[in-house]
Every structure is written in structure tokens, then in C-alpha cells.
Structure 1
């Protein structure tokens, strides 16, 4: 399943230093996993975490779940060594934090080019700095780019923002840049992992903005994200009726149809078919 059609409803951060947590991730109904070498790993554990992660990825067992490794920022003492250490595991993708410009991604891409084992490794960018948000459109065009992950905690810190509403422009700007260049875009984390209602509200908002899914910090958040970011039965039924009505209209030589008293044009059919394709991709992932 390619990145462009894989579901990313739930994207779980897992510390690369915790073998038990990574083992458990093999059994979780999560769409994608971010194996974290950055914030979740203390400085004195970085080296051991790399070795643990390489062994875990080599062992496999993650099925169709997409696998992303978050390295340390390239301007730290650990970033370059992270790349060298994990190269033998041939990770599907690398998530680079603190991206400020396309040059940061270009630098990483050049480092990946130096490792034959990383020839197929894609790049995701953490969008978590004010400068990175402002440069989102050019970052999206950098080599090997496949997706954005919103780092709302770091962004809030840098902005001095106290609420999610204060970051709405940054969220939408990042999403706009991602969509303009065909990238996946995943919303930031919800910190109060026991607050199911709060998580649901934020997932609904993110879904309605257009995000592909939600980054998560606890397995208990997976079911909520999976449910909200998946097409509902009503949405699937409507999509099928729109397609059927439009095809009937075309057969009559007409360019529009009417469903539930609303005009249905070709643009609605594009959305309807994308909705059905997403449902099929989710079913394929869950069956794997």
C-alpha cells in the first residue's frame, strides 16, 4: 500500500528505547507508528535506543502499519549518528524535527543519498516552529517529502499560545501547503490522554479541517482517532448514491445529478470516490 492511499487516522508515538512498548505496537489497531529517538529518549539512552530500534525493525511483525522513525534534529549532536545507526534497518520513512526551511530537508536528503540502504526511505517534516510554518509551501517541495506532522506542543511554546484556537492559522497554513503539493498531513497530539471527550472534540475539528489523522501519545487514544477519521456509514452510503445518480445522469447526457435535493457535480464524485477508496484502504489495513 503506497503512502498516498494508506490511511493515517491514528499515528502513535512509541519510544525507541522501550522494547516492550514497541512489541505491543505490533498488536495495536494503529495505522502508523512513529518510533521516537528524539523527545522520548533521554540523552544517555540515545545510543542504546538506536540499537534497540534497529533490532526491532529487523525483526518486523508490524504488518501493514506504516513505520516512521523520528530522529533527533540535525543541528544536535545525535542527528547525524541516528541516520548512520538506523540505515541497516532500511526504515520506510524518517521524521525530522524542527524543520525551518526546505534547506533542512535537502540536507537530510543528501545524507540519505550517502547510504545505499536508505535509497527508498521517504521524509516527513515536523511542522513545529514559526519559521517552519511560514516556509511550509517550500518545505513541501523538498526532496523525498511525503508528509507533515504538526508539532503543536513546540509550536505553542514558541508562539506563547495558550489555546489551540490561537494556532488555527498555523494548522490551516500547514495543511494548505501539504495539499498544494500532494502531501499527507497529520494533526498534533492531545496531551490529556485520559480525556476521551476532549480528544474526540479535537479529532473532529482536525478531521473537519482536512487532516488525514491524529498523532497520539497513548494506545488508549487509538480507537477514538480511528473512528472519527474514518468515513462513517452515512458518508459511505451517500457517496455510493451520489456516484450512482451521477452515472445515471451522464447516461442521459446530463452533466449534473440531484441527490437529497442537492446538486451533484463531477467534483462531488471525485470526493465520493476518494471516500470509498479510503474505506477500502482501511479495510485492507485492518484485514492484514
Structure 2
């Protein structure tokens, strides 16, 4: 068989080049010092690891109350106040593990204000999500219904900018008492409604646990009106509504000892459970936070 000249040249060229995957003898030797190319100085690599979270301790602003009451070591029943707190503990543990479907089922039907898919999507902005659960309050009983409020300190980190957040939340849980006709599911504690209590000294930026609870604070005012304040997840805005109609969206401002939001003549100032709301051209109205335990119940 005769090979043409171009083909012979091509074969020679291929056979003269070592494969990129083959180590030749020359690879075993370093080049002479005179020919060596100095390696560039290593560049300092900025650490991408954020600082560890350091939420306020109990008794500090933004932390849980410093309750030194001895905790009973006796077993608790599911229908007790501690049983309700255990549900809250489970709820936030599931959120921290991104088990949103299981967490969603700990709400009363319809109480979350959105379906399970939207509930899960509302946590997409967080890279870390944790909670410290406080001691439950006393059970409020009446008309065959049971309510109890559990304080919670929620803290974590936003994905955007790795910013930490910290806030105080109160969750109200509900169950039906031992009455005829009540099902086993109705007798279990389930999350009924959340209420945010803005407090000074929270870590900046503050964020709420997303729109499933919308960090809603409800207020009863001196003029007989009721206001609803929905705090945004980044803690920088609040939408104030009356009678289901939004009045204004206000932006947060730094204040020495209270929480302050303003926008176009509107102002909301809060400290603990008290709040004053000012509309354009009107005097401030004093309001106090309420727990809307019987909404939808």
C-alpha cells in the first residue's frame, strides 16, 4: 500500500508530539534556575465565611425574658401549656431543617394565609434559620376552646449579604377542649396566629419569619379604631392597614430607645406593647398591641 506524501507528513507530525496525558522524561526535571519564571506572590483570599451568629441572650434587648423560674422535670401532657411549647419547638426545628411541608401542617387549616408551596418558597431568602423558645403562658380557656401564647426569639442569616437578623415573636396556639364531638386532631395544639412585638436593640437588619406569619401586630387605639402593622421580612418596612385597607408603607429609621417608621407624613413609633400612630395633618393616636386569638376560630 502506498501512502501519499501529505499523509506521511501528517503521521510524522502526530508521532512527534507527546500526548498531553503522557508524562515524558523532561517532565521529571526542573528548568535551570536562570530560565525559571518567578511565581507570582500569592494573593490574599478574603474569607467568605461569615462570623458566627451571636443572638442576644435572655434578659438582653431582643432576647427572651430572663425567666429564672425552675423548670419542672415532671413529664408533660400533650394538652398542657408545655405541650403547646413543644409544638412550637418542633415547628422551628422543622424550619431549620428545611422540612417546610411538615412545619406547614402544624398550622391550623387556613391560618398560615397561604398554601404549602408558597409557605416553603417564603423561606428561600434565608441561609440560616434558628429559634429559642421561651416558657409558655397560662392557658386561656373558654367556650370549650383553649389558647396559649408562646414567646420565641427567631434569629439567623439572610442569603443576601449574609446579614444576620434577630426578632421577638409570640405564637398563639389553639386547640379544642375535651368536648363531645371534637376529633383527635382538633384536640391537638396547632398554631393559630403570630404576633410580632417590636423591641429596641434588635440586631440590624432585623427580619421576620417570612410572610407565612407576616409579622403582624394588631393594635387597639384610643380613638376606637384598630390598626394592623405588617412588618416586612427585612425589618426595614411596615405596612399599616385599617379595616383591611392599606394606609401607607413606612420605612424604618434609627431611634435611641424605640422603633420608628416614617413615610410622607405618617409615623409609627413603638416601644414594647405600646405604639403611637400619626397620619398626615392629624395628632398622634396612642395604641396598644392586642392578641387576636379568636380570628377565624
Q: TM-score, normalised by structure 2?
A: 0.23
Identify, as 1 or 2, the structure richer in strand.
2
Q: Which has the larger radius of gyration?
A: 2
Larger relative contact order (Cα-Cα within 8 Å, sequence gap ≥ 6): 1
Q: TM-score, normalised by structure 1?
A: 0.24
